[in-house]
Amino acid sequence: MPTAIDPSWLPSTVAQSTAALVAIVGGFMVSRFISIDSEMAGARRRLEEAQERYDAMLERKTRAEEALTRRTAREFLTDRQRIESLLSSDGMSTAEQLLDEEDCGLSVEQLRPHLEEAVAVVTELRTRFEEFPNQIEYPAWGQFAGLSR
């Protein structure tokens, strides 16, 4: 008895092999997409951390610049001649006038708030200086400002 050959095995085998190859390639692609997504999440975290560090350093830089400006202005304003100018009754010098006389490396806008503070301290202490005119010792700024407290 002759056996009949069934030709359906060939398309069935090709379909199953193709499905297995598609599943393997799809698995690799999904794995790669997950890997790329986790790399991007890590990069985003590092970017956020770098931005936070940058903001913190920018704040520190701003505070350091303000401290340097304050120190330069106070050293400039505590010069004996400028204190006498502030104590004189001829009227207070403006920041522009002081900077015209001598450049301290600050702009008018940087010097103005410190000059206003010095004027307020001198105005408050004027009576004390008028009572003892020959005993002015021209203290450092911290001591000068501390007298008003």
Domain extents in the chain:
16-146
**Residue of 87, 96, 79, 97 lying closest to 132 (CA atoms):** 87
Residue matched to tokens 């975290």: 45
pLDDT score, position 62: 96
pLDDT digits (tens, 9 = 90+) for 4-47: 777 788 888 899 999 999 999 999 999 999 999 999 999 999 99
Task: Kindly state the tokens that stand for 40.
Answer: 């991007």
Give the pLDDT band (50/70/90) at residue 148. very low
Q: For residue 117, what pLDDT is reported?
A: 84
The confidence score (pLDDT) of residue 42 equals 95
The total number of residues shown for the chain amounts to 149
Question: What pLDDT, on the 0 to 100 scale, is given for residue 92?
Answer: 63
CA distances from 75 to 70, 80, 127, 145 (A): 9, 10, 24, 13
Closest residue by Cα to residue 99 from 108, 89, 90, 86: 108
The alpha carbon of residue 93 and the mean position of all alpha carbons in its chain are separated, in whole angstroms, by 33
pLDDT digits (tens, 9 = 90+) for 81-139: 777 777 665 666 677 777 777 778 888 888 888 888 887 777 777 777 667 666 555 55
Token digits of residue 61: 């830089």
